[in-house]
Chains A and B, each alone.
Chain A
Amino acid sequence: MYDVIVIGAGISGSTTARELSRYQLKICVVEKAEDVCCGTSKANSGIVHAGYDARAGSLMAKLNVQGNQMMEAASKELDFPFERIGSLVICCAKADIPVLQRLYAQGKANGVQGLEILGKEAVMAMEPNITAEVVAALYAPTAGIVCPFTMNIAYAENAFENGVEFRFHTEVKKIQKVEDLFEIETTKGLLQAKCVVNAAGVYADRIHHMLSAEPMRITPRRGEYLLLDKTAGAHVSKTIFALPGKFGKGVLVTPTTHGNLLVGPTAVDIIDKEGTDTTAEGLARLRKQGGDHVRNIPMEKVITSFAGLRAHEDGHEFMIAAAKDCENLIDCGGIASPGLSSAPAIGKMVAEIVVEKLSPRFNTQFYGRRKGILSPARLSYADRDTLIRENPMYSNIVCRCEMISEGEVVDAIRRSLGATTLDGIKRRVRVGSGRCQAGFCTPKTMEILSRELGVRMEEIKKSGSDAQMILGKNKEWL
Chain B
Amino acid sequence: MLIYDIVIIGGGPAGLAAALAAKEKGIEQILILERDCELGGILNQCIHSGFGLHIFEEELTGPEYALRYIEKIEAFKIEYRLNTMVVDICADKRVTTMSQADGMCVLQAKAIVLAMGCRERPRGTLHIPGFRPAGIYSAGTAQKLVNMNGFMPGKEVVILGSGDIGLIMARRMTLEGAKVKVVAELMAKSGGLQRNIVQCLEDYGIPLRLQTTVVEIHGKEHITGVTLACVDEAGRVIDSTREYVSCDTLLLSVGLIPENELSLKMGVKLDMRTNGPVLNDKYETNISGVFACGNVHHVHDLVDDVSKEAEKAGTYAAMYVKGGA
Chain A interface residues toward B at CB < 8 A: 227, 231, 274, 276-280, 282-284, 287, 300, 302-306, 381-382, 384-385, 388-389, 392, 395-397, 400-401, 403, 435-440, 442-443, 447, 457-458, 461-478
Among B35, B96, B220, which residue has its beta carbon within 8 angstroms of that of A274?
A: B220
Contact of A305 with B127 in the complex, beta carbons under 8 Å? yes
Chain A residues in 8 Å Cβ range of B240: none
A335→B103 CA distance, assembly (Å): 47
Contact B87 A473 (CB under 8 A): no
Contact B153 A439 (CB under 8 A): no
Assuming the contacts A396-B100, A470-B145, A472-B152, asked whether A462 and B134 have C-beta atoms less than 8 A apart, the reply is yes
B140 at interface by CB-CB < 8 Å: yes
Specify which chain B residues have a CB less than 8 angstroms from the CB of A381 in the assembled complex.
96, 104, 106
The residues of A that contact B220 with a CB separation of less than 8 Å are 274, 276-277
Is B282 in the interface zone, CB < 8 Å from A? no
A-B contact pairs, 24 of them (CB 8 A): A280-B216, A287-B127, A302-B124, A302-B125, A382-B104, A384-B104, A385-B104, A388-B104, A389-B103, A395-B100, A436-B138, A438-B122, A439-B140, A442-B145, A443-B145, A462-B222, A463-B134, A468-B134, A470-B145, A470-B152, A470-B153, A473-B152, A474-B151, A477-B178
Given contacts A382-B104, A436-B120, 18 further A-B contacts (CB under 8 A): A284-B127, A287-B127, A303-B125, A306-B132, A384-B103, A384-B104, A385-B104, A388-B100, A403-B87, A435-B122, A438-B141, A439-B120, A443-B148, A461-B134, A463-B221, A467-B222, A477-B152, A477-B155
Chain A residue numbers with a CB within 8 Å of B155 are 471-472, 477
Q: Which chain B residues border A300 with CB–CB below 8 Å? A: 125
The B interface, classified by DSSP as helix, strand, loop or mixed, is mixed
**B138 to chain A: which residues have CB within 8 Å?**
436, 439
Q: Known: A280-B129, A397-B35. Contact between A470 and B122, CB under 8 A?
A: no
A267–B177 Cα gap in the complex (Å)?
44
Least CB distance, B252 to chain A, in whole angstroms? 9
A439 to B146, CA, bound (A): 14
Partner of B141 from the list A388, A397, A439, A475 (CB cut-off 8 Å) is A439
Contacts of A280 in B (CB 8 A): 127, 129, 215-216
Residue B25, interface by CB 8 Å: no
B205 in the interface (beta carbon within 8 A)? no
Interface assignment of B150: CB less than 8 Å from any CB of chain A: yes
| Cβ contact within 8 Å between B131 and A277 | yes
Cβ-defined contact, A276 with B131, below 8 A: yes
B residues near A470, Cβ cutoff 8 Å: 145, 151-154
Interface assignment of B26: CB less than 8 Å from any CB of chain A: no
Q: Does B83 contact A (CB under 8 A)?
A: yes
Cα of A384 to Cα of B264 in the assembled complex, Å? 23
- Bound: A282/B124 CA distance, A: 14
User: How many Å from the CB of B259 to the closest CB on chain A?
Assistant: 8
Q: Indicate if B49 sits at the interface (CB-CB under 8 A).
A: no
- Contact in complex: A227, B124 (CB < 8 Å): yes
Which residue in chain A gives the minimum CB-CB distance to B85?
A: A397
Question: What is the number of residues of chain B that contact chain A, defined by CB distance less than 8 Å?
Answer: 52
Shortest Cβ distance from A382 into B: residue: B104
Among B141, B154, B221, the residue within 8 A (CB) of A465 is B221
Judge whether B98 is part of the interface by a CB distance below 8 angstroms: yes
Distance in angstroms from B16 CB to nearest chain A CB is 20
B274 close to A (CB within 8 Å): no
Question: Could you tell me if A395 and B98 are in contact, using CB atoms closer than 8 angstroms?
Answer: yes
**In angstroms, how far is the closest chain B Cβ from the Cβ of A218?**
20
A437 touches B152 (CB 8 A): no
| 4 nearest A-B pairs in the assembled complex, by CB-CB distance | A304-B124, A477-B177, A437-B122, A462-B134
Given contacts A280-B215, A439-B141, A476-B177, is CB(A388)–CB(B152) below 8 Å?
A: no
Residues of chain B contacted by A461 (CB below 8 angstroms): 134
In the bound complex, residues from chain A placing their C-beta under 8 Å from that of B177 are 472, 474-478
Q: Does B92 contact A (CB under 8 A)?
A: no
Q: Tell which of B131, B148, B222 has the most Cβ of chain A within 10 Å.
A: B222
Kindly identify which residue among A282, A395, A463 contacts B129, using a CB–CB cutoff of 8 Å.
Answer: A282
| Chain B contacts with A in 102-130, Cβ cutoff 8 A | 103-104, 106, 119-120, 122-125, 127, 129-130
Expressed in whole angstroms, the minimum distance between the Cβ of B272 and any Cβ of chain A is 9
B194 sits at the interface (CB 8 A): no
B88, chain A: closest CB distance, angstroms: 9
Known: A384-B104, A395-B99, A469-B134. A457 touches B151 (CB 8 A): yes
B312 interfacial contact with A, CB 8 Å? no
Q: Say if the beta carbon of B311 comes within 8 Å of chain A.
A: no
Q: Using CB atoms, name the residue of chain B closest to A388.
A: B103
Q: What is the bound-complex CA distance between A41 and B29, given in angstroms?
A: 54
**Chain A residues within 8 Å of B261, by CB:** 401
Which residues 55-113 in B have Cβ within 8 Å of A in the complex? 83, 85, 87, 96, 98-100, 103-104, 106
**Min CB gap A74→B, angstroms:** 29
Pair B222/A278 contact, Cβ less than 8 Å: no
Nearest Cβ distance between residue B126 and chain A, in whole angstroms?
Answer: 9
B257 to chain A: closest CB distance in Å?
9
B144 at the interface (CB under 8 A from A): yes
Q: Are B130 and A277 in contact (CB under 8 A)?
A: yes
In contact, B127 and A283 (Cβ under 8 angstroms): yes
